[in-house]
Amino acid sequence: MDDSSVSHSSNGSASPRSPEHSSESPSLDALRERLGDGDVDAFEAIFRRLSEPVFRYVCGMVSDEALAHDLTQDTFAKLWTVRDRMASVDSLRGYVFRMARNRVYNQHRDARTRRENRAHLQENTPDASPPAPDEALDADLLQDRLQQWIQDLPPRQREALTLRRQQELSHEAIADLMDIAPSTVNNHITRALKSLRERLDKYHPNLRS
């Protein structure tokens, strides 16, 4: 794979290209077969087709565009290295999304370890300053809090909510990507929204009244 398979922004970070579609575009199944034969053109076509939806999905999971760019690029770099497995892949789209999900989960795990290490250090540091209390409600602050609350959701709830609200996928499509039943998807989304409402009510009890 050469560097032409991904685009870069002016600051050097990976930037997914916009998907290209036409009535004459090959199907993902055809591209998957060609990728299995090591076809670089097929890989680049797959990148153009899937990089934007994968980026939006990852961005919703990590709430950090720079990190989402990196994880998206890493996903497609990995896809190229496992191209010899394509014969056993039923759905290329589902396979790529699952690869991206694994990278997001790994990133969350590493970030959680870093937070725990920092918390442990602060607990054992004398004269540590307590966090400043919240001041008046601010729209930007509330948005930041909401994004953090989404990140704090259990991984499966966060993923189901992101796929539904940001990717606008059906429960059936989400179930296929997450390898669970549609009813379980609904349960994850319902619980995620309930948790977010509860945290919002605690943060600002009169906001929804």
Which H or E run includes 15? strand 14-15
Equal CATH topology for 1-123 and 136-204: no
Query: Given pLDDT bands bounded at 50, 70 and 90, which one contains residue 206?
Result: low
Confidence (pLDDT) at 131: 47
Confidence (pLDDT) at 137: 43
Confidence (pLDDT) at 201: 79
Q: Determine how β-strand 14-15 pairs with β-strand 7-8.
A: antiparallel
Sign for the pseudo-dihedral over CA of 106, 192, 180, 33: negative
Q: What is the DSSP string of 126-176?
A: TTPPPPPPP-S--HHHHHHHHHHHHHHS-HHHHHHHHHHHTS---HHHHHH
- What is the tens place of the pLDDT at every residue in 58-79? 988 887 888 899 999 999 999 9
Query: Given pLDDT bands bounded at 50, 70 and 90, which one contains residue 19?
Result: very low
Confidence (pLDDT) at 5: 43
Domain assignments of the chain as residue spans, ordered by start: 1-123, 136-204
Is 22's pLDDT higher than 80? no
Phi, psi for 8 (deg, rounded to 5): -135, 145
Spell out the residues 6+ positions from residue 78 whose beta carbon is closer than 8 angstroms to its own: 99, 103
- What is the tens place of the pLDDT at every residue in 142-199? 667 777 788 788 888 888 888 887 667 788 888 888 888 888 988 989 998 888 888 8
Q: What is the mean pLDDT of residues 13-29?
A: 60
- What is the tens place of the pLDDT at every residue in 100-154? 988 888 876 766 665 555 655 555 555 544 444 444 445 666 667 777 788 788 8
Which residues, in sequence order, are bridge partners of residue 81? none
Confidence (pLDDT) at 7: 44
156 vs 208, higher pLDDT: 156
Phi, psi for 7 (deg, rounded to 5): -105, 165
Half-sphere exposure of 100 (CA within 13 A, CB side): 31
Please check whether the domain covering 136-204 is classified as CATH 1.10.10.10: yes
The CATH number of 1-123, from 1.10.1740.10, 1.10.8.60, 3.30.70.20, 1.10.10.10, is 1.10.1740.10
Measured CA angle at 7 (ends 4, 10), to 5 deg: 130
176 vs 83, higher pLDDT: 83
C-beta of residue 158 within 8 angstroms of C-beta of residue 151: yes
